[in-house]
Structure 1
Amino acid sequence: MLQPATQFIPCLIYTYREKRGEEMEAEREWGERLRSGDREALGLLMDAYGGEVYRTALLLLRDKHTSEDMAQEVFLTVYRKIGQLSYPYREVVVLHYFHDKSVAEMSDMLGTSEGTIKSRLSRAREHMLLLWKEGEKDDTTG
C-alpha cells in the first residue's frame, strides 16, 4: 500500500530550502509560473528535484517502483494543496518555504506588516494541514 504523499512533503521542503544562488533564481521563476497556474513549471521542478525526492523515498520505502510513484505523488500533492490556498496565503507559503524568505524580508517585499505575514503563514499552515488530513482520510476510505 502506498504511503500518503503528505508524509514526504517535509523532505521536499527541505530539498528546496538547501538550494542557493543560480538555482534560487530558477526557483523564483518557477514559483512565479506555478502561481500563475503554469503546469509546465511543475515539470521543471520535478526535473530539478525529483531525483532527491526519489532518493529520499527509496531510502524510506526500499522499493524502486513505489518510490517513483511516491516522488511523483509528492509533487502533485504539493502543487494541488498550494493551489487551493487563497492568493495571500499561497504567496507567503511560496516565498517562505520555496524561496527561504524570512518574515522580515516578506514584509519588505510585500509592503505589509510582519504581524500580517506571520498571521498569513499561520493560517496557511492550518489550512494546508486540514487539506492534508482530508486527503489522508480520502486515501484510507477511497
Structure 2
Amino acid sequence: MSIIQQLKEKQEIALVELMKLYGDYLLRTAVLLLKDRQAAEEAVQDTFLTAFEKIGQLSDENKLKSWLTCILINKCRAKMRKKSWKHAFLSLDLLERYAGDDLHSGPEESLVKLAEHQVLFEAIQQLDYKYKEAIILYYYNELKISEISAQLKLNENTVKARLARGRSLLKQLLCKGEEFGGEKNSQESAR
C-alpha cells in the first residue's frame, strides 16, 4: 500500500514516514525563506499537519513533493505577513549545518566556502521576499521554472523576470560588499 493511500486512510505511521522522507528538505527550504529556525520548524510542522488533513486534495500522487513545497511556501508567506523578519539573522553555525559537508576539502578550503556561503546568504536575505523566494526555489531547491510557476501560481515569464531581477540585485549587493571590503583593506594597509 502506498504512503498516499495510507495517509488517505489517516494512518499516523504514514505521516511519520512522510516526515522522514521530506522533513529535511522542507526544513532547509523554510530556514532559507524565513531566516529563523524556530519559525521554520513551525512552518514545517504546519505543512505536515495540513498535508495529513487535506491529502484528499492531492490529485497526482507523483507530485507529492511539489504539493508539500507549495503548502510550505504558503505557510512561510503567512508567517512573513504576521511578523517582521527583517532583523532576524541566521547564525554562522546554523548556516554551517545546512551548507553541507565537503569531505574532500581541507579545513581552510571549507572555511573559505563557509564564508562565501555566509556572504551570499546574507545578500539573499536582503532581497524582497518575491525575489528571495524565486532564487531559493530555483538555485537551492533546484526546481525548474515551470515547477516554480505552478507552485507560486505565477506566469513562467514572471518567474523568469523575478529570477533575473533577483540575480541583478544580488550582483549589486555583492559588488558593494567587495568595494567596501577593498576600501577597508586599503585603509588598513595605509596605516
RMSD: 2.5
Is the contact between residue 54 and residue 70 of structure 1 (CA under 8 Å) also seen in structure 2? no
Q: Could you tell me which residue of structure 2 aligns to residue 9 of structure 1?
A: none
Q: Quick one: higher RCO (CA 8 Å, sep 6+), 1 or 2? A: 1
**How do 1:57-96 and structure 2 match up within 5 A?**
58=106, 64-65=107-108, 67-96=109-138
Q: Could you tell me which residue of structure 2 aligns to residue 26 of structure 1?
A: 24
Following TM superposition, by how much is the alpha carbon of 1:129 offset from its aligned partner in structure 2, in angstroms? 0.5
Code of the aligned partner of 1:37: K
Distance 2:144 2:155 in 1: 13
Distance 1:141 1:23 in 2: 47
1:121 corresponds to 2:119: no
Is the contact between residue 127 and residue 166 of structure 2 (CA under 8 Å) also seen in structure 1? yes
Following TM superposition, by how much is the alpha carbon of 1:52 offset from its aligned partner in structure 2, in angstroms? 2.0
Distance 1:126 1:106 in 2: 19
Identity, in percent, stands at 24
Code of the aligned partner of 2:31: R
Is the contact between residue 123 and residue 173 of structure 2 (CA under 8 Å) also seen in structure 1? yes
Structure 2: 5+ residue stretches without partners = 1-19, 37-89, 185-191
Is the contact between residue 54 and residue 68 of structure 1 (CA under 8 Å) also seen in structure 2? no
Code of the aligned partner of 1:83: Q
Corresponding pairs, count = 112
Following TM superposition, by how much is the alpha carbon of 1:137 offset from its aligned partner in structure 2, in angstroms? 0.7
Q: Could you tell me which residue of structure 2 aligns to residue 46 of structure 1?
A: 96
Larger radius of gyration: 2
Query: Please, what TM-score do these two structures have when normalized by structure 1?
Result: 0.67
